[in-house]
Protein backbone atom coordinates (compact mmCIF):
# COMPACT_ATOMS: atom_id res chain seq x y z
CA UNK A 1 0.00 0.00 0.00
CA UNK A 2 1.12 3.56 -0.75
CA UNK A 3 2.33 5.37 2.39
CA UNK A 4 -0.74 6.83 4.12
CA UNK A 5 1.35 9.12 6.32
CA UNK A 6 2.45 11.33 3.42
CA UNK A 7 -0.18 13.88 2.30
CA UNK A 8 -1.30 13.86 -1.32
CA UNK A 9 -1.36 17.26 -3.04
CA UNK A 10 -4.20 18.21 -5.38
CA UNK A 11 -3.99 21.23 -7.67
CA UNK A 12 -7.45 22.58 -8.48
CA UNK A 13 -10.66 22.67 -6.44
CA UNK A 14 -13.14 21.95 -9.19
CA UNK A 15 -15.50 18.99 -9.23
CA UNK A 16 -12.72 16.50 -9.93
CA UNK A 17 -10.29 17.89 -7.39
CA UNK A 18 -12.83 18.10 -4.57
CA UNK A 19 -14.17 14.62 -5.27
CA UNK A 20 -10.64 13.22 -5.43
CA UNK A 21 -9.87 14.77 -2.04
CA UNK A 22 -12.99 13.22 -0.50
CA UNK A 23 -12.34 9.81 -2.07
CA UNK A 24 -8.72 9.82 -0.90
CA UNK A 25 -9.68 10.89 2.61
CA UNK A 26 -12.27 8.11 2.65
CA UNK A 27 -9.41 5.67 1.95
CA UNK A 28 -7.31 6.97 4.81
CA UNK A 29 -5.08 9.50 3.06
CA UNK A 30 -4.48 13.07 4.17
CA UNK A 31 -4.90 15.63 1.39
CA UNK A 32 -3.95 19.23 0.68
CA UNK A 33 -5.82 21.09 -2.08
CA UNK A 34 -4.33 24.22 -3.66
CA UNK A 35 -6.69 26.49 -5.59
CA UNK A 36 -5.65 29.71 -7.29
CA UNK A 37 -9.02 31.45 -6.77
CA UNK A 38 -9.24 33.68 -3.70
CA UNK A 39 -12.86 32.62 -3.17
CA UNK A 40 -14.81 29.61 -4.38
CA UNK A 41 -17.26 31.09 -6.86
CA UNK A 42 -18.67 28.59 -9.32
CA UNK A 43 -19.22 29.90 -12.82
CA UNK A 44 -21.71 28.53 -15.29
CA UNK A 45 -25.19 27.32 -14.55
CA UNK A 46 -26.24 23.69 -14.59
CA UNK A 47 -24.81 20.26 -15.15
CA UNK A 48 -26.07 16.71 -15.39
CA UNK A 49 -25.00 13.96 -13.01
CA UNK A 50 -25.62 10.60 -14.61
CA UNK A 51 -25.88 7.41 -12.50
CA UNK A 52 -22.22 6.49 -12.92
CA UNK A 53 -21.19 9.78 -11.28
CA UNK A 54 -23.92 9.69 -8.63
CA UNK A 55 -22.88 6.19 -7.62
CA UNK A 56 -19.45 7.57 -6.65
CA UNK A 57 -20.85 10.61 -4.85
CA UNK A 58 -23.43 8.47 -3.07
CA UNK A 59 -20.64 6.19 -1.89
CA UNK A 60 -19.08 9.25 -0.25
CA UNK A 61 -22.27 9.93 1.67
CA UNK A 62 -23.45 12.88 -0.43
CA UNK A 63 -26.60 11.51 -2.07
CA UNK A 64 -29.17 13.01 0.29
CA UNK A 65 -27.64 16.49 0.02
CA UNK A 66 -27.49 16.28 -3.76
CA UNK A 67 -31.11 15.21 -4.06
CA UNK A 68 -32.19 18.19 -1.96
CA UNK A 69 -30.83 20.54 -4.64
CA UNK A 70 -31.11 18.43 -7.78
CA UNK A 71 -34.02 17.26 -9.91
CA UNK A 72 -34.38 13.63 -10.92
CA UNK A 73 -34.79 12.90 -14.62
CA UNK A 74 -36.46 9.80 -16.00
CA UNK A 75 -35.43 10.26 -19.60
CA UNK A 76 -33.87 12.49 -22.23
CA UNK A 77 -36.46 13.70 -24.72
CA UNK A 78 -35.10 14.34 -28.21
CA UNK A 79 -37.11 16.87 -30.24
CA UNK A 80 -37.14 18.17 -33.78
CA UNK A 81 -35.58 21.62 -33.95
CA UNK A 82 -38.25 23.50 -35.85
CA UNK A 83 -41.48 21.92 -34.66
CA UNK A 84 -40.55 20.64 -31.20
CA UNK A 85 -42.14 17.33 -32.10
CA UNK A 86 -40.80 14.44 -30.05
CA UNK A 87 -38.37 12.16 -31.87
CA UNK A 88 -37.61 9.71 -29.09
CA UNK A 89 -37.31 9.28 -25.32
CA UNK A 90 -34.19 7.69 -23.88
CA UNK A 91 -34.40 6.36 -20.30
CA UNK A 92 -31.50 7.50 -18.13
CA UNK A 93 -32.15 5.78 -14.79
CA UNK A 94 -29.63 2.96 -14.25
CA UNK A 95 -30.69 -0.68 -14.04
CA UNK A 96 -30.07 -0.67 -10.29
CA UNK A 97 -32.35 2.35 -9.83
CA UNK A 98 -29.53 4.89 -9.45
CA UNK A 99 -31.04 8.21 -10.58
CA UNK A 100 -30.00 10.79 -13.13
CA UNK A 101 -29.99 14.29 -11.63
CA UNK A 102 -29.75 17.80 -13.05
CA UNK A 103 -28.31 20.34 -10.64
CA UNK A 104 -26.88 23.85 -10.45
CA UNK A 105 -23.09 23.82 -10.46
CA UNK A 106 -23.01 26.07 -7.41
CA UNK A 107 -25.20 23.62 -5.50
CA UNK A 108 -22.93 20.70 -6.35
CA UNK A 109 -19.89 22.73 -5.38
CA UNK A 110 -21.50 23.68 -2.07
CA UNK A 111 -22.22 20.04 -1.24
CA UNK A 112 -18.62 19.06 -2.04
CA UNK A 113 -17.09 21.99 -0.15
CA UNK A 114 -19.14 21.30 2.96
CA UNK A 115 -17.96 17.69 2.92
CA UNK A 116 -14.36 18.85 2.47
CA UNK A 117 -14.73 21.28 5.36
CA UNK A 118 -16.05 18.50 7.62
CA UNK A 119 -13.11 16.22 6.87
CA UNK A 120 -10.15 16.57 9.26
CA UNK A 121 -7.98 14.84 6.66
CA UNK A 122 -8.37 17.59 4.03
CA UNK A 123 -6.87 21.08 3.97
CA UNK A 124 -8.06 23.55 1.31
CA UNK A 125 -5.75 26.47 0.53
CA UNK A 126 -7.26 29.26 -1.58
CA UNK A 127 -5.41 32.03 -3.39
CA UNK A 128 -2.46 29.74 -4.20
CA UNK A 129 -1.33 30.18 -7.79
CA UNK A 130 1.17 27.61 -9.02
CA UNK A 131 4.30 29.24 -10.42
CA UNK A 132 6.72 26.35 -10.82
CA UNK A 133 7.30 22.68 -10.05
CA UNK A 134 10.63 20.92 -9.92
CA UNK A 135 11.68 17.35 -9.13
CA UNK A 136 13.06 16.90 -5.64
CA UNK A 137 14.16 14.03 -3.50
CA UNK A 138 11.19 11.71 -2.92
CA UNK A 139 8.74 14.00 -4.68
CA UNK A 140 8.23 17.44 -6.21
CA UNK A 141 8.78 20.98 -5.00
CA UNK A 142 5.90 23.30 -5.90
CA UNK A 143 6.18 27.07 -5.79
CA UNK A 144 3.06 29.14 -5.19
CA UNK A 145 2.30 32.83 -5.02
CA UNK A 146 -0.70 34.26 -3.21
CA UNK A 147 -1.74 35.99 -0.03
CA UNK A 148 1.13 34.27 1.77
CA UNK A 149 3.60 35.62 -0.83
CA UNK A 150 5.84 33.14 -2.61
CA UNK A 151 6.25 29.86 -0.78
CA UNK A 152 7.47 26.33 -1.42
CA UNK A 153 5.50 23.17 -0.86
CA UNK A 154 6.95 19.67 -1.02
CA UNK A 155 4.72 16.89 -2.35
CA UNK A 156 5.25 13.16 -2.69
CA UNK A 157 2.40 12.89 -5.20
CA UNK A 158 0.66 15.66 -7.13
CA UNK A 159 -2.79 15.22 -8.65
CA UNK A 160 -3.37 17.76 -11.41
CA UNK A 161 -7.08 18.57 -11.47
CA UNK A 162 -6.86 22.13 -12.77
CA UNK A 163 -9.10 21.91 -15.80
CA UNK A 164 -8.94 22.10 -19.56
CA UNK A 165 -6.49 25.04 -19.48
CA UNK A 166 -4.29 23.29 -16.93
CA UNK A 167 -1.35 25.33 -15.69
CA UNK A 168 0.36 22.07 -14.77
CA UNK A 169 0.03 20.77 -18.32
CA UNK A 170 1.47 24.01 -19.61
CA UNK A 171 4.45 23.79 -17.27
CA UNK A 172 5.03 20.20 -18.34
CA UNK A 173 5.24 21.39 -21.94
CA UNK A 174 2.19 19.42 -23.08
CA UNK A 175 0.25 20.40 -26.17
CA UNK A 176 -2.43 22.91 -25.26
CA UNK A 177 -6.14 22.32 -25.48
CA UNK A 178 -7.52 23.20 -28.90
CA UNK A 179 -10.74 24.81 -30.04
CA UNK A 180 -13.48 22.46 -31.22
CA UNK A 181 -14.87 25.19 -33.44
CA UNK A 182 -18.08 25.38 -31.43
CA UNK A 183 -19.44 27.57 -28.66
CA UNK A 184 -21.91 26.84 -25.87
CA UNK A 185 -24.24 29.64 -24.79
CA UNK A 186 -25.55 29.19 -21.27
CA UNK A 187 -28.34 30.92 -19.43
CA UNK A 188 -31.14 30.39 -16.92
CA UNK A 189 -34.86 30.94 -17.07
CA UNK A 190 -36.72 31.44 -13.80
CA UNK A 191 -39.82 29.34 -13.38
CA UNK A 192 -42.93 31.36 -12.68
CA UNK A 193 -45.15 30.22 -9.82
CA UNK A 194 -47.50 27.54 -11.05
CA UNK A 195 -45.40 26.57 -14.07
CA UNK A 196 -44.82 22.89 -14.58
CA UNK A 197 -41.31 21.56 -13.97
CA UNK A 198 -40.03 19.47 -16.83
CA UNK A 199 -39.05 16.18 -15.12
CA UNK A 200 -36.31 15.39 -17.57
CA UNK A 201 -33.76 16.61 -20.07
CA UNK A 202 -34.96 18.02 -23.39
CA UNK A 203 -32.77 18.37 -26.47
CA UNK A 204 -33.71 20.01 -29.78
CA UNK A 205 -31.68 18.65 -32.69
CA UNK A 206 -31.05 20.83 -35.73
CA UNK A 207 -28.60 21.35 -38.59
CA UNK A 208 -25.20 22.35 -37.13
CA UNK A 209 -26.85 23.34 -33.85
CA UNK A 210 -28.67 21.87 -30.89
CA UNK A 211 -30.24 23.12 -27.67
CA UNK A 212 -30.69 21.53 -24.24
CA UNK A 213 -32.97 22.50 -21.35
CA UNK A 214 -33.35 20.96 -17.91
CA UNK A 215 -34.45 22.01 -14.41
CA UNK A 216 -31.97 23.12 -11.76
CA UNK A 217 -32.12 24.75 -8.31
CA UNK A 218 -34.78 22.32 -7.15
CA UNK A 219 -36.89 23.09 -10.23
CA UNK A 220 -37.01 26.84 -9.62
CA UNK A 221 -34.98 27.51 -12.77
CA UNK A 222 -34.45 25.98 -16.19
CA UNK A 223 -30.88 25.70 -17.42
CA UNK A 224 -30.63 26.47 -21.13
CA UNK A 225 -27.65 25.58 -23.33
CA UNK A 226 -27.34 26.41 -27.03
CA UNK A 227 -24.43 24.91 -28.97
CA UNK A 228 -23.51 26.22 -32.41
CA UNK A 229 -20.50 26.74 -34.69
CA UNK A 230 -18.11 29.40 -33.46
CA UNK A 231 -16.98 32.22 -35.71
CA UNK A 232 -16.37 35.93 -35.35
CA UNK A 233 -20.06 36.67 -35.66
CA UNK A 234 -21.36 34.20 -33.09
CA UNK A 235 -18.55 34.79 -30.60
CA UNK A 236 -19.01 38.54 -30.60
CA UNK A 237 -22.79 38.71 -30.90
CA UNK A 238 -24.80 36.96 -28.19
CA UNK A 239 -27.72 39.22 -29.06
CA UNK A 240 -27.91 37.47 -32.42
CA UNK A 241 -28.85 34.16 -30.80
CA UNK A 242 -32.55 34.86 -31.04
CA UNK A 243 -32.16 35.58 -34.74
CA UNK A 244 -30.09 32.47 -35.44
CA UNK A 245 -32.66 30.26 -33.67
CA UNK A 246 -35.69 32.25 -34.85
CA UNK A 247 -37.24 29.41 -36.88
CA UNK A 248 -36.93 26.79 -34.10
CA UNK A 249 -39.66 25.47 -31.82
CA UNK A 250 -41.64 28.38 -30.35
CA UNK A 251 -41.30 27.01 -26.82
CA UNK A 252 -37.51 27.06 -27.18
CA UNK A 253 -37.42 30.55 -28.69
CA UNK A 254 -39.57 31.77 -25.78
CA UNK A 255 -36.99 30.39 -23.34
CA UNK A 256 -34.17 32.06 -25.29
CA UNK A 257 -35.99 35.38 -25.04
CA UNK A 258 -36.66 34.89 -21.32
CA UNK A 259 -33.02 34.02 -20.61
CA UNK A 260 -31.84 37.45 -21.73
CA UNK A 261 -28.08 37.81 -22.13
CA UNK A 262 -26.46 34.40 -22.31
CA UNK A 263 -22.80 33.68 -21.60
CA UNK A 264 -20.69 32.14 -24.35
CA UNK A 265 -18.18 29.40 -23.57
CA UNK A 266 -15.91 28.36 -26.46
CA UNK A 267 -15.56 24.58 -26.35
CA UNK A 268 -12.04 23.14 -26.16
CA UNK A 269 -10.69 19.61 -26.16
CA UNK A 270 -7.49 18.01 -24.92
CA UNK A 271 -5.56 15.80 -27.37
CA UNK A 272 -6.49 12.13 -26.83
CA UNK A 273 -2.79 11.28 -26.82
CA UNK A 274 -1.98 13.52 -23.85
CA UNK A 275 0.15 11.72 -21.26
CA UNK A 276 -1.34 11.46 -17.78
CA UNK A 277 1.65 10.23 -15.74
CA UNK A 278 4.68 12.50 -15.40
CA UNK A 279 7.96 13.09 -13.60
CA UNK A 280 8.63 9.46 -12.70
CA UNK A 281 5.10 8.94 -11.37
CA UNK A 282 5.25 11.89 -9.03
CA UNK A 283 2.36 13.57 -10.87
CA UNK A 284 -0.91 12.36 -12.39
CA UNK A 285 -3.47 14.35 -14.39
CA UNK A 286 -7.19 13.68 -13.92
CA UNK A 287 -10.47 15.12 -15.19
CA UNK A 288 -10.42 17.81 -17.87
CA UNK A 289 -6.69 18.37 -17.36
CA UNK A 290 -6.17 14.82 -18.65
CA UNK A 291 -8.98 14.29 -21.14
CA UNK A 292 -11.33 17.26 -21.62
CA UNK A 293 -13.95 16.36 -24.20
CA UNK A 294 -17.02 17.91 -25.77
CA UNK A 295 -20.29 17.96 -23.78
CA UNK A 296 -22.47 15.96 -26.20
CA UNK A 297 -22.81 13.03 -23.77
CA UNK A 298 -22.87 15.22 -20.62
CA UNK A 299 -19.91 13.31 -19.16
CA UNK A 300 -17.30 15.97 -18.39
CA UNK A 301 -18.05 16.04 -14.67
CA UNK A 302 -18.89 12.33 -14.68
CA UNK A 303 -15.50 11.28 -16.00
CA UNK A 304 -13.67 13.48 -13.49
CA UNK A 305 -15.72 11.99 -10.66
CA UNK A 306 -15.01 8.46 -11.89
CA UNK A 307 -11.31 9.33 -12.12
CA UNK A 308 -11.34 10.38 -8.48
CA UNK A 309 -12.84 7.10 -7.31
CA UNK A 310 -10.50 4.89 -9.33
CA UNK A 311 -7.39 6.86 -8.35
CA UNK A 312 -8.21 6.68 -4.63
CA UNK A 313 -8.89 2.96 -4.85
CA UNK A 314 -5.72 2.08 -6.75
CA UNK A 315 -3.55 4.19 -4.45
CA UNK A 316 -5.05 2.44 -1.43
CA UNK A 317 -4.47 -1.04 -2.88
CA UNK A 318 -1.18 -0.83 -4.76
CA UNK A 319 2.17 -1.71 -3.16
CA UNK A 320 3.87 1.31 -4.76
CA UNK A 321 2.90 4.66 -6.17
CA UNK A 322 4.10 3.71 -9.65
CA UNK A 323 2.07 0.50 -9.57
CA UNK A 324 -1.01 2.46 -8.54
CA UNK A 325 -0.69 5.02 -11.33
CA UNK A 326 0.03 2.36 -13.93
CA UNK A 327 -3.07 0.41 -12.90
CA UNK A 328 -5.14 3.60 -12.80
CA UNK A 329 -4.17 4.50 -16.35
CA UNK A 330 -4.72 0.99 -17.70
CA UNK A 331 -8.23 1.02 -16.27
CA UNK A 332 -9.23 4.55 -17.22
CA UNK A 333 -7.88 4.92 -20.75
CA UNK A 334 -10.23 2.36 -22.39
CA UNK A 335 -13.20 3.87 -20.57
CA UNK A 336 -12.31 7.43 -21.59
CA UNK A 337 -11.72 6.32 -25.19
CA UNK A 338 -15.15 4.70 -25.33
CA UNK A 339 -16.84 7.80 -23.93
CA UNK A 340 -14.99 9.94 -26.49
CA UNK A 341 -16.34 7.76 -29.30
CA UNK A 342 -19.87 8.16 -27.95
CA UNK A 343 -19.40 11.93 -27.74
CA UNK A 344 -18.30 12.10 -31.38
CA UNK A 345 -21.25 9.91 -32.39
CA UNK A 346 -23.67 12.27 -30.63
CA UNK A 347 -22.04 15.29 -32.24
CA UNK A 348 -22.59 13.79 -35.68
CA UNK A 349 -26.12 12.58 -35.05
CA UNK A 350 -27.34 15.71 -33.28
CA UNK A 351 -26.30 18.11 -36.05
CA UNK A 352 -27.36 16.28 -39.20
CA UNK A 353 -28.91 18.44 -41.92
CA UNK A 354 -31.92 17.43 -43.98
CA UNK A 355 -32.47 14.95 -45.57
CA UNK A 356 -30.07 12.94 -43.36
CA UNK A 357 -31.94 14.13 -40.27
CA UNK A 358 -35.13 12.50 -41.61
CA UNK A 359 -33.42 9.13 -41.60
CA UNK A 360 -32.07 9.75 -38.09
CA UNK A 361 -35.52 10.66 -36.80
CA UNK A 362 -37.11 7.60 -38.36
CA UNK A 363 -34.42 5.25 -37.04
CA UNK A 364 -34.85 6.61 -33.51
CA UNK A 365 -38.64 6.67 -33.61
CA UNK A 366 -39.04 3.01 -34.53
CA UNK A 367 -36.98 1.85 -31.56
CA UNK A 368 -38.51 1.41 -28.13
CA UNK A 369 -37.31 3.56 -25.23
CA UNK A 370 -36.03 0.38 -23.53
CA UNK A 371 -33.95 -0.48 -26.58
CA UNK A 372 -32.46 3.02 -26.75
CA UNK A 373 -31.71 2.93 -23.03
CA UNK A 374 -29.77 -0.31 -23.36
CA UNK A 375 -27.34 1.45 -25.68
CA UNK A 376 -26.13 3.39 -22.64
CA UNK A 377 -26.08 0.60 -20.06
CA UNK A 378 -22.29 0.40 -20.36
CA UNK A 379 -22.08 4.10 -19.43
CA UNK A 380 -24.66 4.50 -16.68
CA UNK A 381 -24.27 1.10 -14.98
CA UNK A 382 -20.52 1.59 -14.47
CA UNK A 383 -19.08 0.64 -11.13
CA UNK A 384 -15.42 0.77 -10.28
CA UNK A 385 -14.45 -2.92 -10.16
CA UNK A 386 -13.03 -3.83 -6.77
CA UNK A 387 -10.03 -6.12 -7.34
CA UNK A 388 -10.02 -9.44 -5.54
CA UNK A 389 -6.42 -8.83 -4.65
CA UNK A 390 -4.07 -5.89 -4.34
CA UNK A 391 -2.88 -4.18 -7.51
CA UNK A 392 0.45 -5.67 -8.55
CA UNK A 393 3.64 -3.94 -9.60
CA UNK A 394 3.72 -2.50 -13.10
**pLDDT tens sequence for the chain (394 residues):** 566 667 899 999 999 999 999 999 999 999 999 999 888 776 667 999 999 999 999 999 999 999 999 999 999 999 999 999 999 999 999 999 999 999 999 999 999 999 999 999 999 999 999 999 999 988 999 999 876 668 899 999 999 999 999 999 999 999 999 999 999 999 999 876 445 555 579 999 999 999 999 999 888 899 999 999 987 665 556 678 889 999 999 999 999 999 988 999 999 999 999 999 999 999 999 999 999 999 999 999 999 999 999 999 999 999 999 999 999 999 999 999 999 999 999 999 999 999 999 999 999 999 999 999 999 999 999 997 654 334 454 4
Based on the fold, state whether residues 324 and 285 are members of the same structural domain.
Answer: yes
Evaluate whether residue 99 is within a structural domain. yes
pLDDT recorded at residue 235:
58
Evaluate whether residue 329 is within a structural domain. yes
Based on the fold, state whether residues 219 and 192 are members of the same structural domain.
Answer: yes
Q: Are strands 122-125 and 75-80 parallel, antiparallel or unpaired?
A: unpaired
Is residue 286 within 8 Å of residue 18, measured between CB atoms? no
pLDDT recorded at residue 236:
56
Domains: count for the chain: 2
Q: In this structure, what CATH number is given to the domain that contains residue 280?
A: 3.50.50.60
Alpha helix (H) residue ranges in 318-389: 321-350, 356-365, 369-374, 377-380
Evaluate whether residue 158 is within a structural domain. yes
Based on the fold, state whether residues 245 and 341 are members of the same structural domain.
Answer: no
Based on the fold, state whether residues 226 and 325 are members of the same structural domain.
Answer: no
Evaluate whether residue 113 is within a structural domain. no
Write out the residue range of the structural domain in which residue 148 sits: 1-39+126-177+270-345
Q: Are strands 139-146 and 128-136 parallel, antiparallel or unpaired?
A: antiparallel
Based on the fold, state whether residues 301 and 276 are members of the same structural domain.
Answer: yes
- Could you give the count of Cα atoms lying within 13 Å of 392 in the half-sphere of its Cβ? 2
Evaluate whether residue 9 is within a structural domain. yes
Based on the fold, state whether residues 35 and 71 are members of the same structural domain.
Answer: no
Evaluate whether residue 7 is within a structural domain. yes
Would you please indicate which residues are annotated as catalytic (active-site) residues?
214
Is residue 104 within 8 Å of residue 217, measured between CB atoms? yes
Based on the fold, state whether residues 98 and 218 are members of the same structural domain.
Answer: yes
Based on the fold, state whether residues 290 and 337 are members of the same structural domain.
Answer: yes
Based on the fold, state whether residues 265 and 183 are members of the same structural domain.
Answer: yes
Based on the fold, state whether residues 305 and 247 are members of the same structural domain.
Answer: no
Q: In this structure, what CATH number is given to the domain that contains residue 367?
A: 3.30.9.30
Strand ranges in the chain using DSSP code E only, listed in sequence order = 8-11, 31-34, 46-49, 71-73, 75-80, 86-91, 100-104, 122-125, 128-136, 139-146, 151-155, 158-160, 178-190, 201-206, 209-216, 221-229, 263-269, 277-278, 283-285
Based on the fold, state whether residues 1 and 67 are members of the same structural domain.
Answer: no
Three-class DSSP category at 199: coil
Based on the fold, state whether residues 187 and 332 are members of the same structural domain.
Answer: no
Amino acid sequence: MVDLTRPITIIGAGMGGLTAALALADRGFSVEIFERAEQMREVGAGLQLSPNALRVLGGLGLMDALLVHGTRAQDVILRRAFTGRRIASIPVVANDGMPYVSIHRADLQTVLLRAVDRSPAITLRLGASLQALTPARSGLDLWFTGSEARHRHHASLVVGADGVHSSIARRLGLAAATSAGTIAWRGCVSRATGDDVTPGIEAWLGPRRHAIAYPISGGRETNLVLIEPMNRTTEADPTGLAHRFRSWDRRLTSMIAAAGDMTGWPLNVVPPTRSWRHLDDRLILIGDAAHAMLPYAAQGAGMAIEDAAVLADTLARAPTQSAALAHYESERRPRIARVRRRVLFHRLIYHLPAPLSFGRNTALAIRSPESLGKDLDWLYDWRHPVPSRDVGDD
